[in-house]
């Protein structure tokens, strides 16, 4: 493979990535829709699938409003750290602050998987270290892609067994 066919991070063009989005401050439904457009508005990150929006109770952290969560699949020519920087720029555009761990937020974007690439780097751990336990990631992902797997296990099966499933519901407008 030539140098021109690799990203700065060394990933192959068109790498499949799954991103989880969440919001519980402000107009969360509009924030999620805008964030998906912001993430995929260029030619280096293309939307390939999108889940329905689910409403979930907050997990961990202080008392806070329910979240709206969504999962998207993209094909990207960015490397994993470039994609992380892109996600963080979109979070910043939506006024994300990082003052309280697991606290309320206007927008949170996590990279769940990035092709077959894995990392234990504290800055970017992939697959996401808690994805297999989080219904707010697993349920929308399983609705988007019923055949999806994480670590060789069915995402739908993981979703059915996730501890934080109570309180999860498909978001309904109005």
Residue 145 known to be catalytic:
no
| 3-state SS, residue 91 | helix
DSSP, collapsed to helix, strand or coil, labels residue 46 as strand
From 37, 15, 145, select the one nearest 7 (Cα to Cα): 15
96 included as an active-site residue: yes
Query: Is 29 annotated as catalytic?
Result: no
Q: Kind of pairing, strands 153-154 and 169-170?
A: unpaired
Q: List the beta bridge partners of residue 61.
A: none
Q: How far apart are CA 63 and CA 164, in angstroms?
A: 15
Q: Establish whether 108 is a catalytic residue.
A: yes
* Residue of 96, 130, 134, 164 with catalytic role: 96
| From 38, 55, 77, 105, active-site residue | 105
Between the two ends of the chain, the Cα-to-Cα distance in Å is 51
Q: How far apart are CA 87 and CA 21, in angstroms?
A: 10
Q: Give 11's Cβ-side CA count (13 Å radius).
A: 23
**Catalytic choice (38, 77, 108, 164):** 108
> Which of these is catalytic: 110, 123, 130, 164?
110
> The tokens of 50 are what?
């999108």
Catalytic residue positions?
A: 96, 105, 108, 110
């Amino acid at each position: 493979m030539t140098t021109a066919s690799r990203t700065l991070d060394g990933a192959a063009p068109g790498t499949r990535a799954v991103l989880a989005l969440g919001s519980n401050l402000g107009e969360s439904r509009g924030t999620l829709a805008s964030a998906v457009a912001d993430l995929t508005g260029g030619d280096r990150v293309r939307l390939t699938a999108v889940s329905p929006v689910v409403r979930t109770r907050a997990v961990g952290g202080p008392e806070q409003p329910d979240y709206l969560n969504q999962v998207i699949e993209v094909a990207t020519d960015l490397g994993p750290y470039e994609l992380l920087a892109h996600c963080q720029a979109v979070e910043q555009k939506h006024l994300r602050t990082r003052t309280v761990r697991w606290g309320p937020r206007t927008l949170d974007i996590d990279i769940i998987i990035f092709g077959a690439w894995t990392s234990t780097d504290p800055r970017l751990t992939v697959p996401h270290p808690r994805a297999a336990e989080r219904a707010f990631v697993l349920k929308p992902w399983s609705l988007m892609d019923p055949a999806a797997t994480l670590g060789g296990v069915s995402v739908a099966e993981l979703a059915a067994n996730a501890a934080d499933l109570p309180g999860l519901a498909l978001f309904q407008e109005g």
